[in-house]
């Protein structure tokens, strides 16, 4: 039996075959070809496979995103068969006696360099296309699937670490749980695992070895323990834990349909955080009373191109309609930091968490912002949609956001497209700057929602992504809690409500503190709704205090 300890970041006990994630950019080695003709046949097959994939992508794009994106994939398909490019691949194979993967890499790099050296900016930009095409051919040669999981049965997915975009693009039906060497509980991948209800352990380090591939693993996402080949006693304990979990879940069912109210009659909004329209099923199953945070950027992360206004509108409308008049707070694009999207072509940054992310991107790429706002306002005609802006630091940012909203409303009015002109606007309090100017900000919006994941990161100057900062990243730090209290006081002074949509909102040990501050809303992962309701219903706010704010 092998016992490996990591950090449990999404609870649940599961059993399954360990499978190491095959990343689409796995390095190519210069392997000698045993049989050149066979290598050429492999290359021809990879060409066929690539063209089939690109044709499918082009068709899908034409339907969903319009002609422009479709043409890109058609051009890629043409490149796969380009005479000069193919000749270069075959010549390299002949002259070096190497495998097809290596020949494709060499040819791809040569062509990319050639394009990059051209005068014309359009031709220079083709350099990225040729690299993309070559990578597709290489992946097909190496048998790497788009989802990174070439297994017929669901697996326990192991990886060094997983980016949110990778997690989103995987086929979820193939995943029983995640185990990663790096990562932290505050990363978006961990948040995604919790939202999807998939048990996960991160920060395992070197103990997670590639040689374990294919072994049966038991994963306990609560304790952070992974066990290979358990002995009889351990197996019995794991089974008991699993049964206990099921029992607890059943007991909590009695909370469904109950009000979110404290013992002394204070009503609190218990909402849910989601990342896609599919997550609404879990919100409804767990009786969430609204959506406090729809991370709209996950739509962008799951796609290979800018989601169109129509695609976004359909997604937002579906959520608004499914929630049947309950509040749905949709956060505008929060790309950047750990949420990187290739087609945004963001320059590499030394400190991406403090770089061009979230509202900064929206305000510097007005067309991207406008498209999203149009989709949001159009969806506002189909439910109780509210719009929320992330990572605000300044009053002028909110002024610009509101101006952008007004312009979009004017456009829609002229076009005769219905929308709700009273759509609520809110901001996220995630930076110390927004806390310091909270009184001014509160006069400009309808609500505040505190992003404690980032507020902790920026208040404590502590990277939320870093797995080994351990106790230095402490959302219970009095500085973080005092920032929350300052924001709550400012909100209430201006007569608006304040919620928490960061992970801390589900931390039951702080519930009395939040109640003492007068927090009005808690937005949590759907599976955390019923435990939170249960705790809330046995809390008397008259005995809650602010002692947690003391050092």
Catalytic positions are: 188, 501
Instruction: Select from ligand PEP, Mg ion, none the partner in contact with residue 384, using the beta carbon and a kind-dependent cut-off of 5 to 8 Å.
Output: none
Per CB under 6 A, the list member of 184, 296, 452, 465 interacting with ligand PEP is 452
Cβ nearer to Mg ion, comparing 185 with 512: 185
The yes or no reply on residue 453 touching ligand PEP (CB under 6 A) is: yes
Instruction: Select from Mg ion, ligand PEP, none the partner in contact with residue 295, using the beta carbon and a kind-dependent cut-off of 5 to 8 Å.
Output: ligand PEP
Give the DSSP H or E segment for 44. Answer: helix 36-64
Q: How does DSSP assign 358-370, residue by residue?
A: THHHHHH-HHHHH
Per CB under 6 A, the list member of 105, 430, 520, 521 interacting with ligand PEP is 430
Stretch 428-457 residues interacting with Mg ion (CB under 5 A): 430, 451, 454
Q: Is 428 helix (H, G, I), strand (E, B) or coil?
A: strand
For residues 178 to 207, the per-residue mask of contacts with ligand PEP, x marking binding by CB under 6 A and - elsewhere, is -------------x----------------
Long-range contacts of 436-443 (CB under 8 A, 24+ apart): 437/394, 437/395, 438/486, 438/487, 438/490, 438/491, 439/490, 439/493, 439/494, 440/395, 441/392, 441/395, 441/398, 441/490, 442/490, 442/491, 442/493, 442/494, 442/496, 443/494
The yes or no reply on residue 297 touching Mg ion (CB under 5 A) is: no
| Residue reference for tokens 């630091």 | 393
The pairing of beta strand 225-228 with beta strand 216-220: antiparallel
The yes or no reply on residue 454 touching ligand PEP (CB under 6 A) is: yes
Segment interacting with Mg ion, rule: CB under 5 A, options 112-120, 272-280, 283-291, 426-434: 426-434
Instruction: Select from ligand PEP, Mg ion, none the partner in contact with residue 501, using the beta carbon and a kind-dependent cut-off of 5 to 8 Å.
Output: ligand PEP
Size of the site for Mg ion (CB under 5 A): 3
Cβ nearer to ligand PEP, comparing 101 with 520: 520
Segment interacting with ligand PEP, rule: CB under 6 A, options 49-57, 401-409, 448-456, 490-498: 448-456
Q: Where are the alpha helices (DSSP H) in 425-472?
A: 432-436, 438-442, 452-459
| Residue reference for tokens 């083709």 | 126
Per CB under 6 A, the list member of 76, 295, 327, 357 interacting with ligand PEP is 295
The yes or no reply on residue 334 touching ligand PEP (CB under 6 A) is: yes
Bridge partner residues of 329 (DSSP): 386
Segment interacting with ligand PEP, rule: CB under 6 A, options 166-174, 220-228, 398-406, 447-455: 447-455
Instruction: Select from ligand PEP, Mg ion, none the partner in contact with residue 58, using the beta carbon and a kind-dependent cut-off of 5 to 8 Å.
Output: none
Stretch 55-84 residues interacting with Mg ion (CB under 5 A): none
Rounded to the nearest 10 degrees, how much is the dihedral formed by the CA atoms of 513, 515, 519, 525? 80
426-439 in b/e form (b: 16+ CB < 10 A) is bbbbbbbebbebbe
The yes or no reply on residue 164 touching Mg ion (CB under 5 A) is: no
Segment interacting with ligand PEP, rule: CB under 6 A, options 257-265, 301-309, 451-459, 484-492: 451-459
- Shortest gap between Cβ of 269 and ligand PEP (angstroms)? 16
Instruction: Select from Mg ion, ligand PEP, none the partner in contact with residue 378, using the beta carbon and a kind-dependent cut-off of 5 to 8 Å.
Output: none
Cβ nearer to Mg ion, comparing 454 with 507: 454
295: nearest Cα among 338, 325, 260? 338
Per CB under 6 A, the list member of 451, 499, 512, 526 interacting with ligand PEP is 451
Contact 524, 272 (CB under 8 A): yes
- Shortest gap between Cβ of 69 and ligand PEP (angstroms)? 26
Q: What are phi and psi of 78, to 5 degrees?
A: -65, -35
Cβ nearer to ligand PEP, comparing 230 with 451: 451
Contact 211, 191 (CB under 8 A): no
Contact 497, 520 (CB under 8 A): yes
Segment interacting with Mg ion, rule: CB under 5 A, options 170-178, 282-290, 422-430, 470-478: 422-430
The yes or no reply on residue 220 touching Mg ion (CB under 5 A) is: no
CA distance 329 to 294: 6
Per CB under 6 A, the list member of 8, 12, 502, 512 interacting with ligand PEP is 502
Stretch 463-482 residues interacting with ligand PEP (CB under 6 A): none
CA distance 521 to 267: 9
CA distance 171 to 198: 13
Tokens of 281: 């099923």
Per CB under 6 A, the list member of 501, 510, 519, 530 interacting with ligand PEP is 501
Residues forming the site for Mg ion (CB under 5 A): 430, 451, 454
Can you give the binding site for ligand PEP, defined by CB under 6 A?
Answer: 191, 293, 295, 334, 430, 451-454, 501-502
């Amino acid at each position: 039996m092998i016992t490996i300890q990591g950090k449990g970041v999404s609870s649940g006990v599961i059993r399954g075959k360990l499978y190491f994630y095959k990343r689409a950019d796995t390095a190519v080695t210069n392997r000698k070809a045993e049989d050149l003709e066979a290598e050429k046949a492999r290359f021809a097959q990879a060409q066929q496979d690539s063209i089939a994939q690109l044709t499918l992508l082009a068709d899908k794009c034409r339907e969903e995103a319009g002609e422009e994106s479709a043409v890109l994939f058609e051009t890629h398909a043409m490149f796969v068969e380009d005479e000069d490019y193919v000749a270069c691949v075959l010549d390299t194979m002949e002259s070096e006696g190497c495998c097809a993967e290596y020949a494709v890499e060499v040819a791809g790099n040569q062509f990319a360099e050639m394009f990059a050296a051209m005068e014309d900016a359009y031709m220079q930009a083709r350099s990225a296309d040729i690299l993309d095409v070559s990578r597709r051919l290489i992946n097909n040669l190496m048998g790497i699937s788009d989802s990174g999981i070439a297994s017929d049965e669901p697996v326990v997915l192991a990886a060094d670490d997983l980016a949110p975009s990778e997690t989103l693009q995987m086929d979820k039906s193939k995943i029983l749980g995640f185990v990663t060497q790096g990562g932290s509980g505050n990363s978006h991948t961990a948040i995604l695992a919790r939202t999807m209800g998939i048990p996960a352990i991160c920060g395992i380090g070197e103990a997670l070895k590639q040689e374990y591939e294919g072994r049966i693993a038991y994963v306990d996402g609560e304790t952070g323990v992974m066990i290979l080949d358990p002995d009889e006693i351990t197996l019995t304990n794991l089974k008991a834990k699993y049964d206990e979990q099921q029992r607890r879940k059943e007991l909590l069912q009695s909370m469904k349909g109950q009000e979110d109210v404290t013992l002394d009659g204070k009503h609190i909004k218990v909402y849910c955080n989601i990342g896609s329209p599919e997550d609404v099923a879990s919100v409804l199953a767990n009786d969430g009373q609204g959506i406090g945070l729809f991370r709209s950027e996950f739509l962008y992360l799951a796609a290979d191109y800018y989601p169109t206004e129509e695609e976004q509108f359909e997604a937002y409308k579906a959520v608004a309609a499914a929630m049947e008049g309950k509040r749905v707070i949709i956060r505008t694009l929060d790309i950047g930091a750990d949420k990187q999207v290739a087609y945004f072509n963001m320059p590499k940054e030394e400190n991406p968490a403090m770089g061009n992310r979230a509202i900064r991107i929206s305000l510097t790429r007005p067309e991207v912002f406008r498209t999203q706002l149009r989709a949001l306002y159009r969806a506002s005609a189909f439910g109780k949609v509210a719009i929320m802006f992330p990572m605000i630091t300044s009053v002028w940012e909110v002024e610009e956001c509101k101006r952008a909203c007004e312009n979009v409303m004017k456009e829609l009015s002229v076009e005769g497209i219905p929308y709700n002109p009273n759509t609520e606007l809110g901001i996220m309090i995630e930076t110390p700057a927004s806390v310091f100017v909270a009184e001014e900000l509160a006069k400009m919006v309808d609500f505040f929602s505190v992003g404690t994941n980032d507020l902790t990161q920026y208040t404590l100057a502590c990277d939320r992504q870093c797995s080994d900062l351990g106790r230095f990243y402490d959302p219970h730090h009095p500085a973080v809690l005092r920032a929350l209290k300052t924001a709550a006081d400012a909100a209430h002074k201006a007569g608006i409500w304040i919620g928490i949509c960061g992970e801390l909102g589900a931390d039951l040990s702080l519930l009395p503190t939040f109640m003492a501050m007068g927090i009005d809303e808690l937005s949590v992962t759907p599976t955390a709704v019923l435990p939170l309701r249960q705790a809330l219903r046995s809390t008397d706010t008259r005995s809650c205090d602010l002692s947690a704010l003391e050092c």
